Structure 1
């Protein structure tokens, strides 16, 4: 189990670190002499979901399973796909009004709505040590990412900064709903990871296609990539890392449950910042090293006490 866990966690860490660096470069950077910004979130996510869907089809055929897929009610899949998509859209859109570090800190609180929704919707109970581990890891990540405004001007407030914070709150809420519904589906129908990934991305692709058509962003997006061809490679790389990383996340969800998956995805945010430190030459402060200790100590505790996660997280 330890080798399997390390393989899945390592895949999530490395792929999403690269994904985050490319995402920040695309959405927060500028293109051309006119310093044009990329603001086409819906077409970007549409390209990403197409990659995810194609990758899921490839993995399903590669597995060559003789058993038939589990039949999951369409209502479940459409609802999960919608909340999953809304979590992504609101998170990406928030970057237009808040800084990237603020987004990371906010999304680091994802285990909290997962646990709340698990109790309210899934009627689940968690050991007290799970609460301590989640608080420890979230505190460590927040401590590492926090910077004083007088030292580094991270967040430039504007008239719309409140809207960005609302978008991040909505994204966290959708994360909690998605994880709660996913766990219920996996407990009741026991789908394979590639099957769930395939169905969710199929519906997300349909939702996004309609949204792009209604908003008219498609033509503006095509015009932008024609003016700035360098953005095409970034979009492709973001989509590839997201597709492969998503498959690892679904493996983690199926085999270890939503809370453990949330711990891993929260911790990888540290690796995202660590990659940024290496690439851009940032200097760590003592407070940030303390945050590193919190994060890794929390992860160690979760691995140590999570040897039988499914039994410990059964429904009441």
Structure 2
């Protein structure tokens, strides 16, 4: 099916619209939670693993509900056996967890628009690792459009003015976290491609097993690091944040289902292009709602990224 055919495909439009709506509101809630100052001491939310942990629990429960009511076909004998290995699910889950935690933690060091623009590079690692790992091939046009994204991100990130050493170090740490997140996104895309091509993994099953494994990994990490105790203490002090976290997690769960539907029907690259496009609107509303100002150079970089 051609690229144009995909975009006029009703199922593709439905999936894309679901991703746009859920992750648009998801982005607003993420910035509200992570960038706000809490209490008299002006505390900042720094519990990235805990936030992803709650997401994964809600995602898992939502996947159970979806699989129970929408994919159960045992009566007519058409339910296919899931041949995806636990190793593949666990590997994809590790990539997903590291990508999400790194992305959330980067917000402690960079602005939300910077994080969104950097994450818009996701098609790049997806393509690179797809070529190296799954031997996929892409057209010259797609390589050109990805090059536009690279130039746009470089334009957005480049800052000729020297700032303080502390601010520079913080920004550098944020960039490293975003680079790690993007690398894991690339490997995650490759693993999901294998699930789609070799095992014909269904969206509901992919969502359930990836989030179930992710929940186990995160629970172990939270106990070992002691972050779970700190997170519980934080929400006890600022209980009003619980409602924002629950909304955030519900948007994640519904949005993730649309993502898995897109991946299993149209592939990871198409999915990454949809998620990249919706990020333009997230950046725009971040500027309008939260006062994140952009320079003329950064707006040019933004235009190049989303043109790509």
The answer to whether structure 1 residue 279 and structure 2 residue 289 are counterparts is yes
User: What do residues 115-160 of structure 1 show as CA deviations (whole Å, max 9, x unaligned)?
Assistant: 11011111111110111233345656776x679788xx9x982544
State how far apart, in whole Å, the 2-side matches of 1:70 and 1:20 are: 33
Asked if residue 208 in structure 1 is aligned to residue 218 in structure 2, the reply is yes
- Match for residue 79 of structure 1 among 91, 104, 107: 91
Alignment CA distance shift 1:62-1:142 (3 Å): farther
Q: What RMSD over aligned residues (CA atoms) do the two structures have, in Å?
A: 2.6
Call closer, same or farther: CA 1:108–1:48 in 2, change over 3 Å.
same
Match of 1:164 among 154, 159, 174: 174
Q: 1:132 to 1:84 in 2, by over 3 A?
A: same
Whether 2:137 is the aligned partner of 1:125: answer yes
Gaps of 5+ in 1: 299-316
Q: 2:271 aligns with which of 256, 261, 267?
A: 261
Name 1:39's counterpart in structure 2: 46
Question: 1-side partners of 2:288 and 2:41: how far apart?
Answer: 29
Q: Call closer, same or farther: CA 1:149–1:239 in 2, change over 3 Å.
A: farther
Change (3 A) 1:90 1:64: closer
Distance in 2 of aligned mates of 1:245 and 1:285? 31
- Per-residue CA deviations over 1:74-105 (Å, capped at 9, x if unaligned) read 11111111111111111111222222222122
TM superposition shift of 1:11: 1.1
Other-structure match for 1:10: 17
- Residues 203-260 of structure 1 show CA distances to partners (whole Å, capped at 9, x for unaligned) of 0000011111111111211111111122111111111111111111111111111111
* CA drift at 1:297: 5.6
- Between the aligned partners of 1:165 and 1:282, the Cα distance in structure 2 is 18
Partners of 1:34 and 1:142 in 2: how far apart?
36
CA distance in 2, matches of 1:288, 1:168: 18
Check if 1:173 corresponds to 2:183: yes
SS in 2 for 1:229: coil
- CA distance in 2: counterparts of 1:95 and 1:281, whole angstroms: 15
- Tell me, yes or no, if the aligned pair for 1:87 and 1:172 is still in contact at 8 Å: yes
- 5 Å-filtered alignment, 1:81-96, equals 81-96=93-108
The answer as to 2:48 corresponding to 1:53 is no
Aligned equivalents of 1:171, 1:282: Cα separation in 2: 22
Aligned partners of 1:69 and 1:191 also within 8 Å? no
In structure 1, how many angstroms separate the alpha carbons of the residues matched to 2:174 and 2:304? Answer: 28
Task: Give 1:276 shift.
Answer: 2.4
- The 5-angstrom pairing of residues 224-235 of structure 1 reads 224-235=234-245
Alignment gaps of 5+ in structure 2: 1-5, 74-78
Counterpart contact for 1:93–1:167, Cα < 8 Å:
yes
Q: Is the 8 A contact 1:94 1:165 kept in 2?
A: yes
Match for residue 304 of structure 1?
none
Matches of 1:90 and 1:284, distance apart in 2: 23
Asked whether the equivalents of residues 121 and 149 of structure 2 are also in contact (C-alpha less than 8 Å), the reply is: no
